[in-house]
Amino acid sequence: MSSPSIRIDDLANPVLTRLQRAAREGAEQIPVDLSVEGILDQAAQQTGLTDFGPDDFRERLGVWLQSIGEDHNLSAVGRVGAFRECLRYAVARLRIEDFVRQNPGIHDVEIERPIIVVGLPRSGTTHLLNLMAADTRLRSMPYWESLEPVPTPGEAPGSDGVDPRLARCRKGYEMQCKLLPLLKNMHDMAPEHVHEEIELMGPDFSAYMIEWVVRVPRWRDYYYARDQRPHYAYLKRALQVLQYQRGPNRWVLKSPGHLEQLGPLMDTFPDATVAFTHRDPVSVIASAITMLTYGDRLRCKHPDPADNARYWTDRVERLLRKCVEDRARVPEDQSLDVLFHEFMQDDIATVERIYALADLPMTADARGRLDRYLEANPRGKHGRILYDLQADFGVDPEALRERFAFYYERFPVRRES
């Protein structure tokens, strides 16, 4: 039986549920200190640790916080969420530094020939990553582990054997599903799903992920202007920390942000196999900004679909122009291009192409695991969201395609209706 199609018809003027109204009202009563010292002092108090490692991150955290303060459409829910994100990253930084200090052997951990998926958000990267992660020969990072990469000292699994970090993530996921139930139709953030490693740059207060939760043009421009190699080095060390805790030692990774950082990515992981996913950017933008605007009913005082369309069209253009410009930085014998429509037609064949390039045999056991993943995770299992750029965002899809002519000329992506 096919999943239902869902049309969100209140993006600009959301009709809030009772729970959503309560969340907005409750957040108004929560004081937050969006200052560098306020964040770091609370992180130290929460962990009992004080060594954050090299202090250069303070400037970046300061730019984050200044940028957050300049988003005047951010609601109380958005401010509390931004504070908690910054605090979580500061706590993770403290625990990573402490873990490395106590386990110096981490420096000798080798990150060997990772397989890295690179492509726009909403272009099949998450599905491809999670599909390959079903192969237990590869190390991957579930969402719950990305939120707390180092266990809290002294915590042990509960009587049910569940890691306390996973238990906490499950509680947060349950609340998110109640507050914004349609998010799982667009991008299900289930605790066990495999997540982006760029999350591990958060404790170094770099990368572009903060742009997904706050409108931060100051941070975006600061980030553009700086070499990201030091932060990719931090990412590699965080992967070493995770691999030291458990194997295997060959990673499968993915992040859209790598599109504009192919130089730092390959300098950090020179033996990586890189699979580029390519999809019609018009469909990508329609999907991404619909998801973001849906979340804005809590995150913002007043959702602004047109502003989301402007910002993320510019952002996607930057990502794609850098990809076109720097694609040759990834050696031909270490990379391949995956067209979205071909991937959707035959998931396993795409994985087989990647494995062949990565010298990873497709064993019967691996094939069985991939098949079982696909059976348990059919596309659109939560229901399909219908997108309408013109009606919801005032954007002419054909005019948008003209803007991205440079990308269509470089890669033979199929235009979607």
Residue range of the domain that includes 318: 5-105+114-155+163-410
**Could you tell me the pTM of the whole model?**
0.96
- 119: closest CA among 305, 350, 295, 291? 350
Query: Is 400 inside a domain boundary?
Result: yes
**Tens of pLDDT, residues 117-172:** 999 988 899 999 999 999 999 999 999 999 999 999 999 888 888 999 999 999 99
34: pLDDT confidence band, cut at 50, 70 and 90? very high
| Percentage of the chain modeled with pLDDT above 70 | 99
- Edge-first strand listing for the sheet containing 115-119: 252-254, 115-119, 273-278, 335-339
| Cα torsion through 261, 262, 265, 266, rounded to 10 | -160
Average pLDDT, the chain: 96
234 Cβ contact partners less than 8 Å away, ≥ 6 residues apart: 200, 201, 203, 204, 206
1: pLDDT confidence band, cut at 50, 70 and 90? very low
Query: Is 246 inside a domain boundary?
Result: yes
**Tens of pLDDT, residues 92-125:** 999 999 999 999 999 999 999 999 999 998 889 9
Query: Is 416 inside a domain boundary?
Result: no
Domain containing 267 — which CATH number? Answer: 3.40.50.300
| Percentage of the chain modeled with pLDDT above 90 | 92
41: pLDDT confidence band, cut at 50, 70 and 90? very high
- Look at residue 384 in the predicted model and tell me its pLDDT: 87
Instruction: Average the pLDDT over each of 121-125, 220-224, 252-256, 288-292 and give the range with the smallest value.
Output: 121-125
Query: Is 264 inside a domain boundary?
Result: yes
206: pLDDT confidence band, cut at 50, 70 and 90? very high
**Tens of pLDDT, residues 260-279:** 999 999 999 999 999 999 99
Query: 289 in the Ramachandran plot: left (φ > 0), alpha (ψ -120 to 50) or beta?
Result: alpha
Beta bridge partners of 285: none
Query: Is 417 inside a domain boundary?
Result: no
- Look at residue 383 in the predicted model and tell me its pLDDT: 72
**Tens of pLDDT, residues 306-339:** 999 999 999 999 999 999 999 999 999 999 999 9
Task: Please state the rounded mean pLDDT for residues 363-368.
Answer: 98
Query: Is 415 inside a domain boundary?
Result: no
Query: Is 318 inside a domain boundary?
Result: yes
Distance CA 417, CA 341 (A): 13
Strands 335-339 and 273-278: parallel
- Look at residue 207 in the predicted model and tell me its pLDDT: 86
- Look at residue 273 in the predicted model and tell me its pLDDT: 98
- 46: closest CA among 97, 91, 101? 91
Query: Is 226 inside a domain boundary?
Result: yes
Distance CA 215, CA 304 (A): 11
Q: How many domains does the chain have?
A: 1
